[in-house]
Structure formats: structure tokens, C-alpha cells
Structure 1
Amino acid sequence: MSRIRSGVNRVTLLCAAVVLLVSGAALASAVAPVRERLPAALPRLGADRVWLGREMLGRWRDHGWWPPVVIAALALLAVLFLCWAAAQIRTGRLRELPLGQPGITLSATALASAMAERARAVDGVARAHVRLLGRPRRLRARITLVLEPDGSPEAVLRELARDTIAEARAATAPRVLEADVRFTTRRHRVRRTH
């Protein structure tokens, strides 16, 4: 995740938290048990406060412009939220890497396939899957390995870092390549005799 995207996420969550905290505290101050425990210096809402009286409701009914404006604002907020959520869900999958000369690129799928093939050649690995994520300048390889039942994760990780990941870093230099390795094991099938 880029720094800008991470910063926007943090600011959005901080603003939402502040709004919810302030509105929740204001509403809670109108309840008698909370109101009695608050220090005298803190502002609070009146317990008998009427949020929408008959006079105010009558004034709002006289103006026909506000329902479409409220609906449009809520629709806009919903669309912005959906766009933000879609940006969070987006996988960030990399398609191709530009190489030194203009017009020459390396397919990220080909690099991921080569890394998976090299990872499958490591002793103790039954299956390997590699996905390249991130941006062209900062790559992240998500490597999922299925180990044989007798495979040692420590030995596999050592050989993977020495060969497969080191070769991929050399191929993508001067870019930064981070590797995220996940292990699972293949279980023995239980044989039943009748």
C-alpha cells in the first residue's frame, strides 16, 4: 500500500472516529445517569431538549428544496464511500514491469511463473504459487508454498531466500522487491482397508 493511500486511510478513519466520538458524547450527556457524573465545567445537552419541534418542522415543510438536497448529498457520500471501498479492495496486482529502455517491458505474470517454478524445485516443496503486487518501483511477491509432510519450513525458507528471491531481486533491480512467504503442509491421505 502506498504512503499516500495509507495516509488518506488514516485521516479518513481519524475524522470518522472524531465525528462519532463527539456526537456520541453529546448524545450521552443528555441521559440522566451520564449527566450526573460529568464535571460541571463540561458542556452538555439538556435532558428535555426537543430535536425537532412542531414549529421547526412546519418551517422545514414550507421549503421544498431541502429533501432533494439531502438525498443528493447522501447519494454523493454513498458513491464516495463505495469508491473508497473499491480502492481498498483492489488487489494492486501488477501487470508488467518497464525495463531500462522505453517500450521494453517484463510481464509480471511471466516473472511470477518463473519464481513459482524455481520455488517448486526446492526440496520439500510440493506446490508453489506466486503473485506480484504493488507498484513498478516497489514490488511485493506473495509466495504460497505447500510443503511435503516431511518438509522443513526453515530449510525451505533459507533455500528460497538464497536462490529464488535473490534471483528475482537481481532481475527487478534497482527496484525494491519484498517477499511475503506463507506455508501450508500437504497431509498424508488416510488409507482405509475393508
Structure 2
Amino acid sequence: MSRLRHGTNRAVLLGVGAVLLVSGAALASTTGLVRDRLPAQWPRLPAGRTWLDGEALGHWRDQGWWPALVIAALSVGVLLFLWWGWAQVRPERLRELPLGQPGVTLSGPALAAAMAERAESVDGVARAQVTLLGRPRRLRARVTLVLAADGRPEAVLRDLARRAVAEVRAAAAPRSVEVDARLTVRQHKARRLR
């Protein structure tokens, strides 16, 4: 997780937590049980407080624009919350992999391209695409292989594990590398018979 995302997460959680804490404390101070135990100098809401009196409520009912505005604002808030949640759980592409010495890194896309090139050299593979996901301590490689017409899946997977996967695990050692391999078959155009 990047530092910016990590800092943004903490700031959002701190802000939401502060709003909920202040709101909960304010609402709790209206009950007699909590109100009697609070120090006298602390601010509190009156026990019989009415949030909207009849006149103010009638004024709001006369305005036709505010329900649509409230619904739109709540919808935008829910969409932003869903987007933020999705951004937290989606796997992040690996940009660079730190190696043993400080300042020495290996580019994630370069490692993925090398693994794809090595996977394409396996017999029976027509095309390969590799995406590296995860964090530098725990990597995940998503490998999509398009098999040639004569490619056998068992042999391709065995050769892939022996060549490309073994080399990536050796390059990333001592980190663990999980590999998700997806096999598809090259589509052939149907021949027409006359």
C-alpha cells in the first residue's frame, strides 16, 4: 500500500471516528443517566430539546427542492464510500521490488515482461500475459496463457512451473510468489465447406 493511500486511510478514519464520537457524546448527554454523571462545567444538550419545531418543519415542507438535494448528497456519499472500499480491497500492481541493498530495486513491469517472454518460450504456448500484483513481501503473478492448437495443458503447466515460475521465485527470494495461471485456447476461424 502506498504512503499516500495509507495516510489518506488514516485521515478518513480519524475524521469519521471524531464525528461519530462527538455526535454520540452529544446525543448521550441528553439522557438523564449520562447527564447526571457529567461534570457541571461540561456543555450538554437540554433534555427536552426539539430538533425541529413545528414552524421550522412546516417551512421545510413548503420547499420542494430539499428532498432531491438530500437524496443526491446521500447517493454521492454512498458512491464515494463504495469507491473507497473497492480501492482498499483491489490488488495493487507491483511497481518495483526492493532487492537486498538499499536503493537497488527491480521494476515490476520489467519482471512481468521477462516472465511473459519466458512463458511464451514454453512449447504449446502461443501467447502469454503476466501481471504482478501484491506487495513487495508477498507477490502474486497472474499469468494468462493462450495455448496453440497442439498445446497440452498438463505439459504446458509443468514446463511453466519448471522454467518461468522457478526463475521468478529465484529472483524474488526470500519472498513468496503465488501464481494464478489461466489457460485459454486460440480461437480458430471456422472453415466453410462448399
Whether these two folds match at TM > 0.5 is: yes
2:57 pairs, out of 61, 78, 84, with 61
Counterpart of 2:88, as a letter, is A
How many angstroms apart in 2 are the aligned matches of 1:150 and 1:108? 32
* CA deviations over 1:125-184 (Å, ceiling 9, x no partner): 000000000111000000000001121000000011111101100000011100000000
Q: Does 1:180 align with 2:180?
A: yes
Q: 1:62 to 1:154 in 2, by over 3 A?
A: same
Q: How many residues align?
A: 136
Q: Secondary structure at the match of 2:141?
A: strand
Amino acid at match of 1:181: A
- Partner residue of 1:132? 132
Shift of 1:191: 3.7
Matches within 5 A, 1:20-99: 58=54, 61=57, 71=70, 74=74, 76=77, 78-88=79-89, 90-99=90-99
Residue segments in structure 2 that go unaligned for 5+ positions in a row: 2-51, 61-65
Question: SS state of the match for residue 188, structure 2?
Answer: coil
What secondary structure, in the 3-state scheme, does the structure 2 residue paired with 1:144 have? strand
For residues 53 and 151 of structure 2, the distance between their equivalents in structure 1, rounded to whole angstroms, comes to 73
Q: Label 1:61 to 1:186 Cα distance change in 2 as closer, same or farther (>3 A).
A: same
User: Given the superposition, is the C-alpha separation of residues 80 and 59 from structure 1 closer, same or farther in structure 2, using an over 3 Å criterion?
Assistant: farther
4+ runs of 1 displaced by more than 6 Å? none
TM-score, normalised by the number of residues in structure 2: 0.60
Look up the equivalent residue of 2:123 and give its one-letter code.
Answer: D
Where structure 1 has 5 or more consecutive residues not aligned to the other structure, the ranges are 2-55
Distance in 2, matches of 1:151 and 1:57, equals 77
Paired amino acid for 2:83: L
Calculate the TM-score normalised by the size of structure 1. 0.60
